[in-house]
Structure formats: structure tokens, C-alpha cells
Amino acid sequence: MRNTDIEKASEALWKNALPHLSVDCVVFGYHQGSFNVLLAKMKGDNGWILPGGYIQKTESIDDAAKRILFERSGAEKVFLEVFGVFGEPNRSQDYFVEYDDNLWHKMRFVTIGYYAVIDQSQVTPVPDMFSDACEWMPVYELPEMVMDHKQIIEKALEKLRDQLYHKPIGYNLLPEIFTLPQLQALYEKIMNQKFNRGNFYRKIMKENILIKQGEAKTGGAHKAPHLYKFDPAIYTK
Amino acid sequence: MRNTDIEKASEALWKNALPHLSVDCVVFGYHQGSFNVLLAKMKGDNGWILPGGYIQKTESIDDAAKRILFERSGAEKVFLEVFGVFGEPNRSQDYFVEYDDNLWHKMRFVTIGYYAVIDQSQVTPVPDMFSDACEWMPVYELPEMVMDHKQIIEKALEKLRDQLYHKPIGYNLLPEIFTLPQLQALYEKIMNQKFNRGNFYRKIMKENILIKQGEAKTGGAHKAPHLYKFDPAIYTK
């Protein structure tokens, strides 16, 4: 696509959107022990960004977040939730060099942060017309990012860690029935630290979010591991 | 103050503020068993509103929230935290009758919800120039409110309840040293239900947020109640 087409498309977007407001989506993905975040790379920019965009004048902010994530990355049916708002007046200063409230691409933006945690095998990222790339990148080895997007990811990670022992975060990330070592591997990735198995077991059982299932059948000499699933009552609460 | 002065002051505020964006503060207050929320009443309006206002072009959103709460209510040094963003396109429709993005007082606003929980004896509400009244009102007997402000309070209450057993919410609301019956009374008010004493005791102890203190001295026949304080390690985490 030629640059003039991109400019025209941008102008059409701006004309129908609320000024000064944007949405950025932090989508964490987990699959087979790998913990990632969905990032995009705009044409002509060096750094990576979160999939983000603007709120149409007639659109709710939740609908805008869903639409933006889909348009930027191809990800559908992702449950997104607000986790923070980023509104330092100088948050784009290094990026824009100079503010100008009369020019859309130089005005101050307050961005609403949405986050989600998904099994990344369910999403094949697709770059949109404004992006060169859209990819899963490792949370603990982020590439160079523009503006405050790295801090936005850190804040989302903080929120995720805060909820880890109180909400069934693993519900969308593990098979329906899983072993405690599988759950421990997920939690270790999200917390970025190793746990003592006994301590982890006691801590997670104390939260009452798991239901014990029948034991896995085994013909061998070793005892089969116990199987668990998340308590659906907690999930729907 | 005459209406023309109010109009002039409003225009000055609008000129320097970000359009389409507002901040609303849900400040819950607790004192001696009474659970309230801080509300204001605008001159010329029938319903009550949350203390709210606009973000100055050069101001961070956190600073705007602090300033707005102080200007509207006189409340200072309140720790405010974002708990949600309210951005349904029609959230002010009943109030404005008709939208007009060229008129400040009729344009669509997305509002950022901040909340706080304080000992209300520390705050004496003072109405500002735009308000007829600023008062503590009982959370479970709210007066008629404008727009979606009642739903915003409900959402803040949901957030507060969600954190009640995981964070030392009572830290600012109870004396430094307290009894479990005192803590139970606070939790019952916030959850709006009565608890069985034994169940409450077990649930709260399981969270490891309390430290047991020496027993209160007593000369009578009854056993003195145990005294507790919140674990400062949890509070600063």
C-alpha cells in the first residue's frame, strides 16, 4: 500500500474519533511454557508498540478495544478488561518531540490500558495496513518499544500477578484437567521465579480455586499425579 | 456568586482542559459504624453527583483527580486510585438530551473513575463555587443521582469488595490496634451482610494480613478480647 493511501486512511480514522483518547491492548499469551505479549511494529517506526488505536465518536470504549485488537492483530473473542489509564502529559514527548493540540498526530493522548490473558495458540497475529509486523514477543525479553509502552506492559504484569492467587487466571491457559506441576510451571513463568513445590501446593490449595479430579491411570511403578480443574463457581463469580 | 461569574469560571476551565475527558472521584468514608460516600450537588441541578471535573492540558490525570477532589470537597491527602473507565457513548444522554461535540457542556465525555477509602472524620466537606452542597451520604441509601453516577459507585463498591480480603482496606478506617469484632463490623458494612463470627475469624486469619498484639488488660470476670493490627509488610507490598 502506498503512503498516500495510509495517510488518507489515517485522516478518515481521526475525523471520526475522539481526540486526546486512545486505547492500548496488552495481550499476554501462554503456550507450552512460553510466556509472551502481542506487539506490533508501525511502518516507518523503529520501535515496537502495543496494538492500539482510537475510539470512534459513536462507539463504547469496550467495543473500541475489541475492534482495535482485532484490526491490529487479527485476534478475536478475547476477553479484555481495563487495568489502568496512562495520562502523564509528557508520555509521548520523546516520540513527538513537540506537542501541538491542533495536529492529531502531535496532540497529547491519554490512553486506556486493556489487558487479556489467552492461550496464544488460538491467535495467529496478522499485521494491519499501518503495521509491518505483529508478533508474539517474550515478556522478559522485550524489544525496543516506543513511548511508555514498556511501562504499560509492566503495569499490566503487576495487575496479573496481583490477581494470580485469587482468580483462576490459568483457566484459559491450561487444559481443562491439569496437574499441579503444570500449574506451577505457568505460575513460575508469570511471577518470573521458581517456587518450592510444597509451598506452592499449600498456597494454591488455600485459595480454594481448584477441584481435585480422579487420579490418572497408570500401569507403571510410580504413583500417578493428581489431576485438578478450576472451580467453575470461582470463575463465574 | 452570580450566574455570570460561574459561566465565566466554567469557560476558563474548559479552555484549558482536554475535551471529551473527565475524572470522577468515589470517596468511601467510614466512621463509627457508618459507611458513606462523598457527594456534591451542582447549582441548578436536582440530582447529586460524584465530585468530578476536567483534566488540564498540562496536568497528569492523577494530579487532576487530587485537585478536583480538593476543589469540590475540601478533601486533601486522599490516596486515590483508578478503578475503572466509563465510556458508553450514551452515558449522558438523558442528562444532555442531545449531544453536540462543538459545545463543551453537551459533548460526549469518557470519565476516569478514581476511588479512595478514608476515615471520614478526617474530612469536612466544603462545597465549591459550582455546588450547593457537598456531603457524606449513606452508601446503601443513595439520593437521586445524575447520569450513570450511581452505577459508577456500584462499580467502585465491587472493586472495594473484591480487594477486601486481600488488602488491608481497614488500615485507614480503624484505630491502629483493634479487636476482631471491630474489624467484623467494618467488613459487614462494606459487604452489606452479617457474618458468622467463627467463619469470619477463620477467613480473615487465613489471609495473613493481621498481627496479634498483647491482650487488653482487664480486671473483670470476662476474658479480654484479643487485639490485632494490620501487618505493615502487607500494606507496603
User: What per-residue confidence (pLDDT) applies to B235?
Assistant: 60
- What does the block give as the cell for A4? 498516500
pLDDT averaged over every residue in chain A: 87
The answer, as to whether pTM is greater than 0.90, is no
Nearest CA in chain B to A81: B84
Distances (CA, A) of A60 to B108, B148, B197: 11, 14, 44
Taking alpha carbons only, the member of A203, A216, A236 closest to residue A175 is: A216
Q: What angle do CA A126, A128, A133 make, to 5 degrees?
A: 60
Nearest CA in chain A to B85: A82
Shared domain check, B202 and B149: no
Lowest mean pLDDT of A115-124, A166-175, A213-222, B23-32, name the range: A213-222
Beta-carbon contacts below 8 Å between A and B:
60
The CATH number linked to A179 is 1.10.10.10
Q: What percent of chain B has pLDDT over 90?
A: 49
Mean pLDDT of A142-160: 94
Shared domain check, B120 and B48: yes
Q: Nearest 5°: phi and psi at B82?
A: -65, 135
User: What per-residue confidence (pLDDT) applies to A154?
Assistant: 97
User: What per-residue confidence (pLDDT) applies to B2?
Assistant: 58
Max distance between CA atoms of chain A, in angstroms, equals 74
Of B21, B101, B237, which to mutate for an interface test with A (greatest number of A Cβ within 10 Å)? Answer: B21
- A7-38 pLDDT, tens per residue? 787 787 788 999 999 999 999 999 888 999 99
Q: Is A61 within 8 Å of B19 when comparing Cβ atoms?
A: no
Taking alpha carbons only, the member of A154, A194, A132 closest to residue A26 is: A154
User: What per-residue confidence (pLDDT) applies to B103?
Assistant: 81
* CA gap A75, A22 in Å, rounded: 19
Contact A109, A92 (CB under 8 A): yes
How far does CA A199 lie from the centroid of its chain? 28
Please name the member of A20, A82, A166 whose beta carbon is closest to the beta carbon of B18: A20
> A21 by DSSP, 3-state: which?
strand
Shared domain check, B176 and B158: no
Question: Is residue B77 left, alpha or beta, with left meaning phi > 0 and alpha meaning psi from -120 to 50?
Answer: left
Mean pLDDT of A146-170: 90
Query: Which residue, chain included where needed, has cell 462499580?
Result: B155
User: What per-residue confidence (pLDDT) applies to A59?
Assistant: 94
User: What per-residue confidence (pLDDT) applies to B3?
Assistant: 66
User: What per-residue confidence (pLDDT) applies to B139?
Assistant: 97
What value does the CA radius of gyration of chain B take, rounded to a whole number of Å? 21
Residue A72: band (very low, low, confident or very high) from pLDDT cuts 50, 70, 90: confident
ipTM of the predicted structure?
Answer: 0.84
Shared domain check, B154 and B39: yes
Shared domain check, B151 and B56: yes
Give the residue from A127, A162, A197 where a domain finishes: A162
* CA gap A116, A78 in Å, rounded: 7
User: What per-residue confidence (pLDDT) applies to A53?
Assistant: 93
* CA gap B90, B87 in Å, rounded: 8
Shared domain check, A150 and A208: no
Give the residue from B162, B196, B224 where a domain finishes: B162
Taking alpha carbons only, the member of A110, A107, A122, A129 closest to residue A55 is: A110
User: What per-residue confidence (pLDDT) applies to B208?
Assistant: 81
The residues facing B17 across adjacent strands are B56
> In terms of residue numbers, what domain contains B218?
169-236
Higher-pLDDT residue of B14 and A229 is A229
Taking alpha carbons only, the member of A4, A12, A152 closest to residue A85 is: A152
Judged on CB neighbours under 10 Å (0-12, 13-18, 19+), B99 is: middle
Element housing A13 (H / E): helix A3-15
User: What per-residue confidence (pLDDT) applies to A215?
Assistant: 62
Shared domain check, B131 and B173: no
Taking alpha carbons only, the member of A181, A172, A175, A170 closest to residue A209 is: A170
Shared domain check, B183 and B158: no
Q: Is B21 within 8 Å of A110 when comparing Cβ atoms?
A: yes
- A77-87 pLDDT, tens per residue? 888 999 999 99
The alpha carbon of residue B85 is apart from the nearest alpha carbon of chain A, in Å, by 7
The alpha carbon of residue A117 is apart from the nearest alpha carbon of chain B, in Å, by 19
User: What per-residue confidence (pLDDT) applies to A139?
Assistant: 97
Shared domain check, B106 and B24: yes
Max distance between CA atoms of chain B, in angstroms, equals 74
Give the residue from A117, A141, A162 where a domain finishes: A162
- A99-128 pLDDT, tens per residue? 777 788 788 999 999 999 998 888 889 888
The alpha carbon of residue B88 is apart from the nearest alpha carbon of chain A, in Å, by 5
* CA gap A207, A165 in Å, rounded: 7
Does residue A219 register a pLDDT over 70?
Answer: no
Side by side, the strands of the sheet bearing B178-179 are B178-179, B227-230, B210-212
Q: What percent of chain A has pLDDT over 70?
A: 91
Does residue A73 register a pLDDT over 90?
Answer: no
User: What per-residue confidence (pLDDT) applies to B94?
Assistant: 60
Does residue A217 register a pLDDT over 80?
Answer: no
Contact A52, A43 (CB under 8 A): no
Shared domain check, A62 and A42: yes
Q: Show the low-confidence residues of chain B (pLDDT under 50).
A: 1
* CA gap B16, A106 in Å, rounded: 17
Shared domain check, A132 and A30: yes
Residues 6+ apart with CB under 8 A from B163: B169
Shared domain check, B145 and B198: no
* CA gap B227, B211 in Å, rounded: 9
Mean pLDDT of A180-202: 94
User: What per-residue confidence (pLDDT) applies to B6?
Assistant: 73
How many structural domains is chain A composed of?
2
The CATH number linked to A123 is 3.90.79.10
How close are the terminal C-alpha atoms of chain B, in Å? 47
| Chain A residues whose beta carbon lies within 8 Å of the beta carbon of residue B55 | 87, 110
